[in-house]
Structure 1
Amino acid sequence: MDDFPIDKIQISGASLASLLHRASSAVGDSHGYLFGHAAVSTSNPLSDHPTSAAPTSLLITTITSFLSLPSHLPLPPPPPSSSTCLLGWFSARRKTPLRPSLKDSAASLSLSSSPLLAITPQNSSLSLSPSIFLLITTPFHDQLIHTHEYKAFQFRGGSFDPKSLSIVNIGPSFRSQYDSFSPNLQLPMMNSDLRGPNAMVEDEIDESLAGKRDQLRNQKQLDLCAEGFEIGRVSKLMSSEAAYTAEMEDLYDKMLAKIDTLSKLVEHSNAKVLDQENRNMRLRSRVAGLE
């Protein structure tokens, strides 16, 4: 299988933080699979000069999720997934040098040499094997701030090629990288038409009973994903680039607020369940005469 060099490896800040937290909270060393997607991006410089640089194609891989298990257990067969592809694997261990071992080389060779696991990046006809390896370690001496070290590699030609790992977050500084991610949770289907030039007719339709009923139903569906985002603002996502970016960032904030609300509800319900279990334990002890 041909080995194509990866030009850029990306990972979201939330995914990297979750991976580091999983590594630090585990009882021992851990390893697992890395999932995401790959695409070939062509940069075309806008210039009228006859000697301008030719368009260049970059192979970019984006890590969006992972599967972790203890290192003493062997890696299971990669699970099938329709939304993400297997990009490689990772190994998280404590107080070891930040360089791959012979065991890592054998595991990467076995994973990258399987033709059944090869993927086809978007906008290309290439065949890319799951050759990414992410190594996570901890410093030899315990520190309060610097708690983890990590380094990304691509396994090519029987050796590890070091690669830089770009962390992508949301915000004004990362707007050019928004197209690197595809949502795992899609918004519900809503019957929402854009306003056309005949605004007076549309106003009459909106004021009708059926229009208000549809708008209320769409708002309830949207509230399941984003808390406090009005249904009328969805049309702005189809407008100019500046308005689209502002509305998209606000929608993202509302979705985070919804997740935070659900997390608090789960936390409160877990506290109630734990309190009820403690009461049941005291009642059983009282009936058994242990108190």
Structure 2
Amino acid sequence: MDDQPLQKIAISGPTLASLIQRFSTSPSSLHGLLFGHVTPLPLTLSDDDDDTSSSATLLAIVTGFLTSPSFHDSSGTVLPSSLPTSSPLLGWFSARRRSPLRPSMREFSVTSSLSSLSQFSSQIQNPNSISSESSLFPPCIFLLLASPSSSDHHHSHVHTHEYRAFQFRPASLSFEPRSLDVVNIGPAFRGHYGAFAPNSNLPPLDCGPHDSPMISDGGDETMGKMKQATKDQRELNQCAEGFEVGRLSRMMGSEAKNYTEGLEELYQKMLVKIENLSGLVEKSSAMVIEQENHNRKLKHKILRSAASE
């Protein structure tokens, strides 16, 4: 596995904001792991480019983080058993208060130990011109966050946080600064949509065109289609009650652009469903508060009667 340089590191605005907010509300220093993926960039050469920039063809995109205070010991050696394996690991971060924005010896040891764990290297996505031997990227990214060390900052109403990104190079045993792009809405943000997962997604439904089960001749097949249609309709009612599952087939393919009214109706029914659920939650919360007030009055009444005796 080659020691491949990064051209830059990107992180979405919400992810960075969440990390800074977690740091701001933490009573002490904070550190944890960074997750994401690495993609190749098109190679551009010019007379003004030096050897490092011309060979740096990789972009690391940070899509999430996990605060984990116990993934290394006191000497800075990373404990592999404490590292998650469900998401591609890019590196780690350290956030400390009122300290200079440069890596410490402890952070050097942790980064060196983490980058040496080849079993946690992530696969480079779409490695067009990258050989199979060098298509893995080690977890060598280090993101450092710090608050200003001035004494009057603690009493200020404006809170400033500084951050800097590094790539650890095992070959030279050194940190190399990398530019950190904060990516928000725009063309460069499209790559982040691959990590999006809806909180309330529609269930998988069989909405393709097929014959009506009422006019088909196959006995068992017809009964199976009827059961499946009933099941699909029941699942769709949980998201948009009253919308026929058969109408979903019109929203796919070339004819979808002519069926905007159906899409608006589906969206409206989904909003009605959410509003009904919100109303139920509001009513149940009111009943809980009413019951708590009733219990409190009974408790006070019992205490008063006990005191009078």
TM-score, with structure 2 as normaliser: 0.60
Match of 2:184 among 164, 169, 172: 169
Residue pair 1:219, 1:231 contacting (<8 A) in 2 also: no
Residue of structure 1 in register with 2:167 after alignment: 154
Deviation at 1:185, TM superposition (A): 2.1
Identity %: 36
Aligned length: 246
Letter in structure 2 aligned against 1:175: P
Mapped partners of 2:291, 2:138: distance in 1: 51
Residue of structure 2 in register with 1:106 after alignment: 109
Shift in CA distance, 282/42, structure 1 to aligned 2, threshold 3 Å: farther
Aligned 1:225-240 pairs, distance under 5 A: 235=252
Shift in CA distance, 105/218, structure 1 to aligned 2, threshold 3 Å: same
Mapped partners of 2:145, 2:164: distance in 1: 7
User: Which ranges in structure 1 are unaligned for 5 or more consecutive residues?
Assistant: 45-54, 195-201, 225-229, 244-253
Mapped partners of 2:286, 2:43: distance in 1: 53
Mapped partners of 1:18, 1:288: distance in 2: 47
Residue of structure 1 in register with 2:263 after alignment: none
Match of 1:79 among 77, 84, 96: 84
Residue pair 2:41, 2:58 contacting (<8 A) in 1 also: yes
Deviation at 1:181, TM superposition (A): 3.8
Deviation at 1:144, TM superposition (A): 3.1
Mapped partners of 1:28, 1:284: distance in 2: 41
Shift in CA distance, 23/4, structure 1 to aligned 2, threshold 3 Å: same
Shift in CA distance, 286/179, structure 1 to aligned 2, threshold 3 Å: same
Q: String of CA shifts for 1:101-153, please: whole Å, max 9, x gaps.
A: 11100000010011111122112232211011111111232443342111111
Shift in CA distance, 270/183, structure 1 to aligned 2, threshold 3 Å: farther
Shift in CA distance, 85/271, structure 1 to aligned 2, threshold 3 Å: farther
Shift in CA distance, 100/282, structure 1 to aligned 2, threshold 3 Å: farther
Match of 1:120 among 115, 119, 123: 123
Residue of structure 2 in register with 1:185 after alignment: 197
Match of 2:144 among 116, 135, 150: 135
Mapped partners of 1:87, 1:24: distance in 2: 23
Deviation at 1:67, TM superposition (A): 0.9
Deviates more, 1:160-169 or 1:17-26: 160-169
Mapped partners of 2:158, 2:177: distance in 1: 25
Deviates more, 1:144-153 or 1:182-191: 182-191
Deviation at 1:37, TM superposition (A): 1.5
Letter in structure 2 aligned against 1:79: P
Residue pair 1:191, 1:214 contacting (<8 A) in 2 also: no
Mapped partners of 2:291, 2:103: distance in 1: 49
User: Which ranges in structure 2 are unaligned for 5 or more consecutive residues?
Assistant: 45-53, 216-225, 242-246, 258-267
Residue pair 1:215, 1:231 contacting (<8 A) in 2 also: no
Residue pair 1:115, 1:129 contacting (<8 A) in 2 also: yes
Task: Tell which structure's C-alpha radius of gyration is larger.
Answer: 2
Task: Determine whether 1:62 maps to 2:61.
Answer: yes
Shift in CA distance, 215/153, structure 1 to aligned 2, threshold 3 Å: same
Letter in structure 2 aligned against 1:151: R
Residue of structure 2 in register with 1:35 after alignment: 35
Shift in CA distance, 113/231, structure 1 to aligned 2, threshold 3 Å: same
Mapped partners of 2:108, 2:194: distance in 1: 31
